[in-house]
Chain A
């Protein structure tokens, strides 16, 4: 039996900031939209981890999901880019300033359809960014068409049946080389918050697919992305407990009941055994589990795959310590002698 020594609840975080400092504008999404719950969890996680809001950049593409960065971390910079192309904008921003904390929010259409190319290359680059797919299986902003994550046999409100197989963004991410892959449910406050905190402690691409029912267009009987369906088919791989690097908390557990993952920043994630002992560092097991749960019509949620020590993209570029964006002229314009040397070589 494990015992968790819970920290005393504080009103301010380690930066001395209060929770409202992490809030954003008033949401314009539908009442009850899963995306709003995800925004709340992002606020919770950033507050709890003591992330400096002016180091955060919020990035998104186009769609309901991509509107949501306006509704959290209002004092952080944001960039609502073009449809499906947020990864490239995020890449450029991080090249300019590798000290930024990048939080990207996409949707299942933005990622799985128009943006699949950039998604694929983002995963293989292992850029240090949190990439959240707010996954509801449909296009909300254009009134409910199927997206590429809709399951075979799932129906639209109008009764139209989807007859194409879904893209599993998590399986794809694992296969492509992402170093942190998780799936959660907008209604699972504890799990999603733990995953987001862990993602903030990870260095590399953290791909999080969050099932987030569309209460307006995809919440009916016959849909496999409805609130009721997801809630009853959620199959957690493990129970997650997160301990940030700045808190001195120990968790005692009996061998064989828990697995411990130390993240890049020193934070620890404890994976408590449920039915089976799950090893999130085993890529083959991750793919098998995703395949099998999908076959049962269920969703495997939790931390699916993690590779805490892999080099991220910016590290491989061997950049100077200061952000490239703030280098003074003397560091970026070579002296006259260099131009003269080049000219002499061409003369």
Chain B
């Protein structure tokens, strides 16, 4: 607590500006491969441990080492965790981007920078803190190799002093990361102390930014969405995992493998209750998942956009032959290779109809790690209940960034294996027909290979209700109409939306996935800045519930917020809505590759609602496009 106390004492002498406490964003600009991730996560975690709501967004290149990386940490006492557009505190470590980074800052921001970069002359309206990092590094250790790795930890020490982030909390975060390596913790702590001491001795606090302890994080964890999904898959009882590495989904399966090895190995025999295969490509990955699902495993794969494209043919087979599988799509920016390390919600339409012919797939849209966890469990149950591939559409922002989250609840319901036939059911239904709609809900009964139940021939070619090959028109129509009926049944089994009806609101907002967090903040901004009341419908799954139409009906205009260019979810809705209701939909679209922010939503809605003629100056260009900003 020493660091914090010192900072508080000094506050009166800091600046004539009012202090800004627990409400600002820090951007750290480094080069990828320089080990900055450790320093950034230590800072993030230390703020979290101080009880302050915090979020971290890593903007990184598709490259191993040497290209620019920005890590943004937002502390917000109100609990807003969406990306904040404006940067208040910049740590400039990368000579390549330092100039642009500084020119893109709003007036009043503070800059900690590597002294030789000589940035202070660029702007007169910022607070600059030069730090001679290489000189300081000499004080940390004589071991040249080792000390190079802790260079970035120096800025954590400097920020600790300037912002009041507790040094001991930083050390606790370090210990968490390097638990078994006291020597590594030791040298990192040394670097923190050296940075802190330098700031204490040489830097006069002239900026208004402070972190003060709060108590907002009781019962919360820090976790990435992909790790949360992995935990969900394990708790869902996954047995077959087939995958092919692709950013940003790889960490989902890699984390899952770690958990499975730890918690799903039979204690007595040392044998595994799961099988994981790294496939030769995404096509094979889904093929294996479907083969597993057909033979009765709870099987899955995880991928991103390019993998989804490759999986098309198998997805159609899964739909038409009615084989369960769970597919995670951690979305990144497309089309084609696109921006592999940037985030988007651009696979909605592709996935909804993935494959040729009349095909539709259920999709789930988690907005948080908690939902990555719970929807993983839902997805396995739905896949087996409806005997079809179920897609979970996460995104890079959710999957790979570190999020605060409530602790996950142990599943309340038992595993649902769906309509798998056994002797008793067989007696009840009489003759087994694989695709017979015995119950009138469109869901047939299936038998599993290797069991004593009657066999059938599973095929992607035309078939009748007995599972026999058929090219007859009536058989085909009957079958695809039943599939339609099954999809209708699924509507009411999908996770329900989160709806907030505001009786005074004339307009509604619909969002899904990670756009949620910017919408939460945006709605507050709309209220504060323009007294504009809104209702909110957070969509969580496709097929949509029937309540979607009545939500739209209640409002004059409904804004669908999403992170793609072509208003994909709004388009999907228009396919089902009556023309009058479809006409009420408007779009707020964000497709810059960085996570959507509240300001974008607020300004866009204010303009579309006629409150404002054009974008505000505060909008500014985004950092990498900046050339002359800030004046």
| A-to-B contact residues, CB < 8 Å | 53-55, 57, 69-70, 75-82, 85, 87-97, 99-100, 117-118, 120-121, 317-321, 323-327, 329, 331-334, 336, 338-339, 342-343, 346-347
Contact = CB atoms under 8 A, between A and B. Distances in A.
Interface in B214-248: 219-223, 231, 234-240, 242
Interface in B252-290: 259, 263-264, 266, 269-275, 277, 279-281, 283-290
Contacts of A97: 295-297, 448-450
Contacts of A99: 450
A88 B288 contact: yes
B451 interface: yes
Contacts of B294: 79, 89, 92-93, 96
Contacts of B426: none
Interface residues of B, number: 70
A92 B266 contact: no
A324 B220 CA distance: 34
A100 B449 contact: yes
Contact of A95 (B285, B292, B410, B448): B292
A118 B295 contact: no
B452 interface: yes
B295 A57 contact: yes
B265 to A, nearest CB: 9
B287 A333 contact: no
A79 B291 contact: yes
B456 A319 contact: no
16 contacts: A80-B458, A82-B287, A85-B284, A85-B314, A92-B294, A93-B449, A95-B291, A95-B292, A100-B449, A100-B450, A317-B275, A319-B272, A319-B275, A323-B296, A339-B410, A343-B221
B250 interface: no
Nearest to A55: B450
Contact of B291 (A93, A323, A331): A93
Nearest to A80: B459
A129 to B, nearest CB: 11
B197 interface: no
Contacts of A339: 231, 235, 408, 410
A100 B236 CA distance: 25
B380 to A, nearest CB: 10
Contacts of B269: 320-321
B288 A324 contact: no
A51 B376 CA distance: 39
A69 B459 CA distance: 11
Contacts of A75: 455
A89 B287 contact: yes
Contact of A92 (B223, B236, B299, B451): B299
A347 B288 contact: no
Given A89-B294, A91-B277, A320-B271, A79 B458 contact: yes
B317 interface: yes
Ranked 3 nearest A-B pairs via Cβ:
A92-B291, A88-B287, A325-B296
Contacts of B234: 334
Nearest to B410: A336
Contacts of A96: 239-240, 291-297, 299
Contact of A77 (B239, B272, B408, B458): B458
Interface in B400-421: 407-408, 410-411, 414-415
Contacts of B275: 95, 317, 319, 324
A208 B294 CA distance: 25
Contacts of B287: 81-82, 85, 87-89, 91-92, 118
Contacts of B63: none
Given A88-B285, A96-B299, A324-B275, 16 more contacts: A81-B460, A85-B283, A91-B287, A94-B295, A96-B294, A99-B450, A118-B283, A318-B272, A324-B274, A327-B239, A329-B237, A333-B411, A336-B410, A339-B235, A342-B231, A347-B221
B452 to A, nearest CB: 6
B291 A91 contact: yes
A338 B263 contact: yes
Nearest to B447: A77
B546 interface: no
Given A88-B283, A118-B284, A332 B239 contact: yes
A76 B455 contact: yes
A93 B221 contact: no
B96 interface: no
Contacts of B274: 324, 332
A50 B294 CA distance: 25
B450 A325 contact: yes
Interface in B72-110: none
B492 interface: no
A121 B263 CA distance: 29
A95 B283 contact: no
A66 to B, nearest CB: 10
B566 interface: no
B63 to A, nearest CB: 28
A168 B458 CA distance: 30
A334 B263 contact: yes
Contacts of A321: 269, 271
A81 B317 contact: yes
A96 B295 CA distance: 6
Contacts of B448: 97, 325
A92 B289 contact: yes
Contacts of A78: 455-459
B469 interface: yes
Contacts of B385: none
Interface string B314-358: 100100010000000000000000000000000000000000000
A347 B407 contact: yes
Nearest to B242: A92
Contact of A334 (B235, B299, B415): B235
B221 A346 contact: yes
A326 to B, nearest CB: 7
B516 interface: no
B461 interface: yes
B298 interface: yes
A77 B449 contact: yes
B291 A88 contact: yes
Contacts of B279: 88, 121
Given A317-B275, A327-B239, A92 B290 contact: yes
A321 B237 CA distance: 17
A118 to B, nearest CB: 6
Nearest to B287: A88
Contacts of A55: 450
Given A91-B288, A96-B291, A333 B237 contact: yes
B272 A92 contact: no
Given A54-B451, A89-B290, A324-B297, A332 B237 contact: yes
Given A80-B460, A80-B461, A334-B234, A95 B240 contact: yes
A173 to B, nearest CB: 16
B82 to A, nearest CB: 22
Nearest to A75: B455
B449 to A, nearest CB: 4
B297 to A, nearest CB: 3
Contacts of B447: 77
B313 interface: yes
Nearest to A57: B449
A92 B314 contact: no
B469 A70 contact: yes
B273 A327 contact: yes
A96 B273 CA distance: 10
Contact of B296 (A81, A120, A326): A326
Contacts of B238: 332
A24 B65 CA distance: 59
Nearest to A320: B271
A201 B321 CA distance: 32
Contact of A319 (B236, B263, B271, B291): B271
A60 B83 CA distance: 50
Contacts of A320: 266, 269, 271-273
Given A54-B455, A55-B450, A92 B313 contact: no
